[in-house]
Amino acid sequence: MHLTRAEEGTLAGEEGLSRQKAMELLVALGDIYGARRLIPVASAQVSGASFKTIGDAGISWLEEIAAEATVSVPAMVNPLGLDMRRWRSMGLTAEFHSKQARIVKAYDSMGLLPVYSCTPYLAGHRPRRGQHVAWAESSATVFANSVAGARTNREGGPSALAAAIIGKTAEYGLHLEENRVPRVLVKLKSVSEEHIPIAGYLTGKAAGNRIPMVAGLEMTDDQHKSFGAAVAATGAVSMYAFDRHGTESMRARRTYEERIVIDASDIRRCTEELSGDDDWDLVSIGCPHCSVRELKSMAAKLKGKKRKGEEDVWFCTSRKAYAACPEAVSVLRRFGKVLCDTCMVVAPIEEIYARTATNSGKAMVYLPTLGKQKASFRTTDQLLEAISR
C-alpha cells in the first residue's frame, strides 16, 4: 500500500504509540484487502462498546489506547450494555455497571461522541451521498451505504476506532465504485408493511455476500432501517440497492447472476418458522433503535389503553430520540421501560431473561445466539396488542 510521508511518520511512531498502533491496524487491513492507499473519512462509528461483547480485554485495550490518543474526526459510539441512567431498573449488577463505566470513560477521554446508538444517522450524523466514512455497526453501515449513499465497509470495532484516531481508512471494498454493483436481483412480491423485517431477513439469506438489487417495495427511512438491519444480520453484505431513490451505482442496467423472488408465501413460511411460542419474559422493541416517529406511532396506538400481561417490556431508543418526544415516552412508560444507550442485542439479556419476543429481523438472529434466548418474532402491532387492552 502506498503511504504518504506523513503516514509513514505516524507508522514509524513519530506521533506516539497509540497513533502508531492505529496506523499499523489500518495498514495491515489495507494490505489484507489489497488497498492502494488510505483515504480520509468524514466520520467514524465505533462498535465494541458493551462490556458484554468486549469483556475485560476490551476494557484494557481501550484504556491502553486512550492513554494517548484522541479522535480526529466526529466519531459516534455504538450502544452500551445498559442504560447509563436507568441501569438499576434493568436488573443488572453494580459490577457490570462499573465495568461498563470504564468503557464509557475511555471513549469519552478520546473524544468520541456519546451517542450510544446504532442509529447515529437519525441523531444528526447522517452521512452525505458519496462521502467516505468508517462505520462499524452492521445496521448503520448498511443504511449509510444503501439509503444515505455514503461509502463504508463494515469495520471491526478496533479498526473503526483506528480510523477515528487517524481520520482515514484503507480504500477497499465498498469504498470503490466497482464493488458497489448489485449482483443478484431480489424481487419482493406483495410484502406487507409489518413484514418488512422478515423480507430483510430472507433477502440477506438469499444474497449471501452479493449486493442485492431489491425491487418491488417502496420503503420509508424507518422501514429501510428495519429491512437493512435484517439483511446485514442474515447476509454477509453491507449494502443493497433499490429501484427508487437509487444509489449511484445502480444507474446502469445490469444483468444479474441470479434472480430471486420472495413472495407472500415465503414471508408467511419464514414468519411461522420464527414465531416461537406465546410464553415470554420480555417483549423487546427497538432493534435498530426506535426513531421519534416510531415512538410516537406506538404511543398513539397505546394511548388510552391499559397494560396487560406479566412480561417485561423494553422500548429501546437513542437518548436523542427519547428527549425529542417526552409525551410519547410518558405513554410508553406506562407499558414498559423506555431504555436509552442500549438494546436487547448488546445488553446482558441472558442474565435477566430466557424467552424474548421481538419485532426485529436482526434481533431474531442475535437473540438466540449472543443473547441465549428462546426468541419469538411478532409484528409491532401484535406485540402492542399483547401488552395492552
Partner 1 sequence: MGGSARGKAMVCPAPLSFLGGVDPSSGKILDPDCAVHGSTVRGKILCFPYGRGSTVGSYAIYQLRLNGKAPAAIVNRSAEPIIATGAIMSDIPMVDNVDTSLIMNGDSVVVEASSGTVELKGVRERHVVTSILRNGAKMLLLRRSEEVGSYQRQWAGVSGFIEEGETDIYAARREIAEEVGLIATKPTKHISPESFRNGDTVWTVHAFLFDVATRRISTDWEHDEYKWIRPDELAQYNTVPGLGVVAKRLLDESIP
CB of 137 to partner 1, least distance (A): 12
Give the whole-angstrom CA distance, residue 10 versus residue 7.
Answer: 5
Residue 48 binding partner 1, by CB under 8 A: yes
Is residue 267 a contact partner of residue 198, using CB atoms and an 8 Å limit?
yes
Q: Which of 44, 54, 198, 229 binds partner 1 (CB under 8 A)?
A: 54
The nearer residue to partner 1, 32 or 323, going by C-beta atoms, is 32
Place of cell 479498526: 159
The nearer residue to partner 1, 7 or 312, going by C-beta atoms, is 7
Neighbours of 209 (CB within 10 A): 9
Q: Which of 149, 157, 204, 348 binds partner 1 (CB under 8 A)?
A: 157
Residue 32 binding partner 1, by CB under 8 A: yes
The nearer residue to partner 1, 32 or 261, going by C-beta atoms, is 32
Residue 53 binding partner 1, by CB under 8 A: yes
Size of the site for partner 1 (CB under 8 A): 20
Determine the interface stretch with partner 1 among 2-10, 52-60, 254-262, 278-286 (rule: CB under 8 A).
Answer: 52-60
Q: Which of 3, 9, 28, 205 binds partner 1 (CB under 8 A)?
A: 28
Residue 165 binding partner 1, by CB under 8 A: no
Give the whole-angstrom CA distance, residue 141 versus residue 151.
Answer: 9
For the chain, the farthest-separated pair of C-alpha atoms sits apart, in whole angstroms, at 67
CB of 41 to partner 1, least distance (A): 17
CB of 389 to partner 1, least distance (A): 41
The nearer residue to partner 1, 48 or 74, going by C-beta atoms, is 48
Determine the interface stretch with partner 1 among 55-63, 113-121, 309-317, 378-386 (rule: CB under 8 A).
Answer: 55-63
Determine the interface stretch with partner 1 among 94-102, 154-162, 176-184, 379-387 (rule: CB under 8 A).
Answer: 154-162
The nearer residue to partner 1, 141 or 317, going by C-beta atoms, is 141
Q: Print the binding letters for residues 360-379 with partner 1: x by CB under 8 A, - otherwise.
A: --------------------
Residue 209 binding partner 1, by CB under 8 A: no
Q: Which of 58, 127, 228, 336 binds partner 1 (CB under 8 A)?
A: 58
The nearer residue to partner 1, 53 or 271, going by C-beta atoms, is 53
Give the whole-angstrom CA distance, residue 71 versus residue 77.
Answer: 12
What is the phi-psi region of residue 271: left when phi exceeds 0, alpha when psi lies from -120 to 50, beta otherwise?
Answer: alpha
The nearer residue to partner 1, 17 or 300, going by C-beta atoms, is 17
CB of 48 to partner 1, least distance (A): 8
Residues in touch with partner 1 (CB under 8 A): 21, 24-25, 28-29, 31-32, 48, 53-58, 60-61, 156-159
